[in-house]
Structure 1
Amino acid sequence: MRVLIAADENAWGGLIPAIRQTLPDMEFIASAGHAAESLAGFDALIPGMCRVDARLIATADRLKLVQQAGVGLEGVDLDAAKHAGIMVANVPSDDSGNADSVAELGIWMMIGLARRQHEIADCLAQQRLGQPIGLGLMGKTVGLVGLGGIGKALAKRLAPFGMRMIGVKREADEAFARQHQLDWVGNMAQLPELLQQADFVVLSLPDNAATHNIINADALAQMKPDSFLINLGRGGLIEKQAFLAALETKKLAGAGLDVFWQEPPHPQDPVFSYNVIATPHIGGVTDVSMKGIIKGICDNLRRLRDGEAVIDRKA
């Protein structure tokens, strides 16, 4: 069985060699540049950040499965895959430990922004003790935009910090709010109310027609002065020029970004000139999540090889 992995050989922190070691009887081909030109001759595809559109799907002559290495399937044309009889599956973040790892990164970003990490090196260099004066998280309000696996993992970890938590998702849910210790959970129409109240806004949504540029100039204008924005979802959730303008005018006090409009981002991107904690899409790259992701991928590839039912994609 031949599997195409649309990523460089050394991508994803050693994930590819680990998959090869787990399934030594399969042939895994890594492509360059997070892209794929043709699916001919392959039984399965692990797309990563590669866009799997109708044109690419049309090149498949025996492909049976598109198996994502994480949750995100927004880059896969699901209708075209279904029409071609190709199954599509992901590794849900709740099952893999991915959500837990991403949530930990988000909290690290919150603490770094609150403690003005961009000033700390200068204070040490200038021997200024007791500076900078940071913000405590206790008593602050965090707005969770998206309450899937990552949002729930964030709520679980933020509750002991003594933060007030509010959230929005597709539908308002009082029972969910009580279960996860949020003051309230509204639908997406209540996003302006969340933005007006939150000191920290954390995004953990997919990028699709309903969420693309959900944080635009109007949304940024509704945010509290000196608030922080953290994006753990996808770069396309934020309208870039409006975001840069909010940082330039200090409407936003700072931001945390693990995802970008172009990945990998250009080293000279102007976003890096502001108070931004940036990481190269590593939220789900930990020993815990990698172990879970490898298991999820390899379990389905084994099922495909052995003629068993593949565990199909989950919402």
Structure 2
Amino acid sequence: MRILADENMPGVDRLFASVATDIVYTAGRTLSAAQVAHADVLLVRSVTPVNADLLADHSPRFIGSATIGTDHIDIPFLASRQIPFAHAPGCNADAVCDYVLAALLALHAQTPAELQHKTLSVIGAGNVGRRVVQRFRALGLSVKVCDPPRAEREPDGETFVSLYDALQADIVCVHTPLTTIGNHPTHQLLDAAALALLPDNSILLNAGRGAVIEEEALLRFLAQRPDVRVVLDVWGTEPAIERSLLPLVEIATGHVAGYSLEGKWRGTRMLRAALDRQLARQGDPLPELSELLPVAPSVVVLESDPWQALYDTVEAVYDIRGDDRRFRGAMAQPNHAEAFDAYRKAYPVRREIGSCRALVGDSPARALLAAAGFIVD
């Protein structure tokens, strides 16, 4: 079985070796129909549009995307060709939660305890958004949830709020997929009228899809409302992003919120499991992540104040300001579209909070660190 895989997808050699006669790696951004024509299995990430142009007259036996979202996949076209497809929903959801926590703590670096008194809204409560809701409620914040499709499907479940109500919060986190059809399209959901609803001194964070925010409207808004602090990990025109936004954004990163080591390997493992199901193959059980990855670091917690300890420990595991500095440096390059991809390809190893131990003893910070997801000892 010939496998063609994105060169930035880890673990393919390890996890697919037993079913592959040949594994070829390629740049996902420039993947061509000529390359795909020789593949039995195609493994991609979010940078590769999979559609009629890419597949031409070829129908692989299986296509997998190691991503949560599927807006880069023409699913109706694959169905019309009867090409089996799988993706990896939830593979990096915990990593995105870590990103949100690290960003919000970084924005409250001088007084991290103030974060506990904030109201946080989550717009889009799918695999990622649900985890953000759970984690920040565990940390004691008041959390509102806006998800119209879920509200229609689950009238007796979560108490959902309208978009208007969601925007009336100290912190607004956007985690929706990018959709253009249906009853609740998300394309440019946050337009000029929506942005104008943000309260004074609020925070807007987007780690979903860039085009959910109308960037021209955001530019105009921030020019008039510098009190609003913005965190952007996703951009409407990746990889050639709107660089004029950078000076107005407090934390800027290049679509790496989910780029934990665990998230990447989990995505690859989920695709291998999906391929086995497609082939009706029953072999040896797939190795667990703990068998595939090195042991995550431990952090000694010296600070007794719970929120200061949380800030220090999260920063020790994930330096989000370092991501911001590297991204701004990359975007200063003349060919910033190429630099965007180079930044992601050279992204340093980042472990998830849930894999890391906080050596905290009997400190008052113990409960808060556990609520944040750390293994506490």
TM range (shorter): 0.7 to 0.9
What's the counterpart of residue 12 of structure 2? 19
Query: C-alpha distance in 2, partners of 1:235/1:51?
Result: 16
Compute the TM-score of the two structures, normalised by the length of structure 1. Answer: 0.78
Deviations 1:205-257 (A, max 9, x none): 11111100001111101111221111111111111111122222225521112
Select 1:100's aligned residue among 94, 102, 117: 94
What's the counterpart of residue 300 of structure 1? 274
- 8 Å contact from structure 2 (residues 125, 145) kept in 1: yes
Letter in 1 for 2:102: W
Letter in 2 for 1:199: D
The 5-angstrom pairing of residues 202-221 of structure 1 reads 202-209=173-180, 210-221=185-196
Inter-CA distance 247–28: structure 2 relative to 1 (3 Å threshold):
farther
What's the counterpart of residue 23 of structure 2? 28
Query: C-alpha distance in 2, partners of 1:163/1:303?
Result: 41
The 5-angstrom pairing of residues 42-121 of structure 1 reads 42-48=39-45, 49-60=47-58, 62-93=59-90, 96=91, 98-115=92-109
- 8 Å contact from structure 1 (residues 229, 252) kept in 2: no
The 5-angstrom pairing of residues 273-312 of structure 1 reads 273-304=247-278
What's the counterpart of residue 154 of structure 1? 132
Letter in 2 for 1:103: C
Unaligned 5+ residue runs, structure 2? 283-377
- 8 Å contact from structure 2 (residues 28, 44) kept in 1: no
Letter in 1 for 2:218: F
Per the TM alignment, residue 276 of structure 1 is displaced from its structure 2 partner at its CA by 2.4
Inter-CA distance 285–234: structure 2 relative to 1 (3 Å threshold):
same
Query: C-alpha distance in 2, partners of 1:43/1:56?
Result: 14
Work out whether 1:223 is the aligned partner of 2:198. Answer: yes
Compute the TM-score of the two structures, normalised by the length of structure 2. Answer: 0.66
Letter in 1 for 2:29: H
Deviations 1:254-284 (A, max 9, x none): 1112211233355x81222123212222222
Letter in 2 for 1:57: L
What's the counterpart of residue 264 of structure 1? 239
Query: C-alpha distance in 2, partners of 1:269/1:36?
Result: 26
- 8 Å contact from structure 2 (residues 232, 249) kept in 1: no
Deviations 1:86-127 (A, max 9, x none): 11211120xx3x211111111111222233xxxxxxxxxxxx
- 8 Å contact from structure 1 (residues 57, 80) kept in 2: no
Q: Name the SS for the 2:115 alignment partner.
A: coil
User: Alignment RMSD, CA only?
Assistant: 2.3
Q: Name the SS for the 1:30 alignment partner.
A: strand
Deviations 1:139-193 (A, max 9, x none): 211110011111111112111332211111114356533xxxxxx413xxx2012
Query: C-alpha distance in 2, partners of 1:63/1:92?
Result: 22
Per the TM alignment, residue 306 of structure 1 is displaced from its structure 2 partner at its CA by 6.0
Query: C-alpha distance in 1, partners of 2:137/2:280?
Result: 44
What's the counterpart of residue 129 of structure 1? none
Query: C-alpha distance in 1, partners of 2:93/2:40?
Result: 29
Letter in 1 for 2:255: H
Query: C-alpha distance in 2, partners of 1:264/1:276?
Result: 20
Work out whether 1:176 is the aligned partner of 2:166. Answer: no
- 8 Å contact from structure 2 (residues 66, 87) kept in 1: yes
Inter-CA distance 133–163: structure 2 relative to 1 (3 Å threshold):
closer
What's the counterpart of residue 241 of structure 1? 216
Inter-CA distance 134–241: structure 2 relative to 1 (3 Å threshold):
farther
Inter-CA distance 277–156: structure 2 relative to 1 (3 Å threshold):
same
Equivalenced residue count is 270
Query: C-alpha distance in 2, partners of 1:64/1:139?
Result: 52
Per the TM alignment, residue 293 of structure 1 is displaced from its structure 2 partner at its CA by 1.5
What's the counterpart of residue 2 of structure 1? 2
What's the counterpart of residue 201 of structure 1? 172
Q: What is the aligned-residue identity percentage?
A: 26
Q: Which runs of 4+ in 1 moved over 4 A?
A: 132-135, 303-308
Letter in 2 for 1:273: P
